[in-house]
């Protein structure tokens, strides 16, 4: 669990850097396009690549910290034991199969993409499209594996604060 948390925190931090880079690149693309009438297809691909990675990378940390957005109509009134049971059920019977199937279903496309070293579908775009497909497949697989690990624990989200290595004050008060 500690290793998963460390990986999740590292990916979340890297995603933050990608967001900053995405902002700078977007300002540059807009300035080049509307001030100097210059534009390149690879610049728009770079924006798409950065956006996809910045969305995918913090996913593991969000799952492990139970920080996803939800509408608590009944959950907030449940005792901790009932919450743990509900969390385990959702992780084991909803998230695990959905992410496992998504990983399995995307694996063939990802492997085919690696065989031809697929580039961007945009003419003049960036190479390495196969890396984005790989990131997506790894995202699904990591969430499936993490959901299974969390579901097999008695209290899925207990220990998040103990396992965090960065010393931040983030809490998980439900």
Q: Are 88 and 156 spatial neighbours (Cβ–Cβ below 8 Å)?
A: yes
Asked if residue 90 belongs to a domain, the reply is yes
Asked if residue 154 belongs to a domain, the reply is yes
Residue 75 is predicted with a pLDDT of: 81
Q: What is the pLDDT of residues 84-122, one digit of tens each?
A: 898 999 999 999 999 999 999 999 999 999 999 999 998
Instruction: Tally the domains of the chain.
Output: 1
Asked if residue 34 belongs to a domain, the reply is yes
Asked if residue 167 belongs to a domain, the reply is no
Q: Are 151 and 67 spatial neighbours (Cβ–Cβ below 8 Å)?
A: no
Asked if residue 123 belongs to a domain, the reply is yes
Strand stretches in the chain, DSSP E? none
Q: What is the pLDDT of residues 12-71, one digit of tens each?
A: 999 999 999 999 999 999 999 999 999 899 999 999 999 999 999 999 999 988 887 777
Residue 59 belongs to what domain range?
2-66+78-159
Asked if residue 103 belongs to a domain, the reply is yes
Asked if residue 174 belongs to a domain, the reply is no
Asked if residue 73 belongs to a domain, the reply is no
DSSP 83-115: HHHHHHHHIIIIIHHHHHHHHHHHHHHHHHHHH
């Amino acid at each position: 669990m500690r290793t998963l948390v460390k990986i999740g925190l590292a990916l979340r931090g890297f995603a933050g850097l990608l967001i900053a880079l995405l902002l700078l690149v977007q300002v540059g693309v807009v300035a080049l396009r509307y001030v100097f009438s210059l534009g390149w297809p690879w610049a728009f691909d770079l924006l798409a690549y950065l956006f996809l990675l910045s969305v995918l990378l913090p996913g593991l940390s969000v799952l492990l910290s139970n920080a996803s957005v939800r509408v608590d109509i009944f959950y907030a009134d449940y005792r901790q034991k009932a919450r743990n049971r509900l969390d385990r059920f959702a992780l084991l019977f909803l998230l695990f199969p959905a992410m496992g199937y998504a990983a399995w279903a995307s694996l063939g496309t990802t492997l085919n993409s690696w065989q031809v070293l697929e580039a961007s579908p945009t003419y003049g775009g960036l190479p390495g499209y196969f890396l984005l497909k790989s990131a997506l497949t790894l995202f699904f697989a990591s969430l499936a594996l993490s959901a299974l690990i969390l579901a097999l624990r008695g209290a899925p989200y207990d220990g998040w604060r103990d396992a965090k290595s960065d010393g931040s004050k983030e809490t998980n008060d439900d």
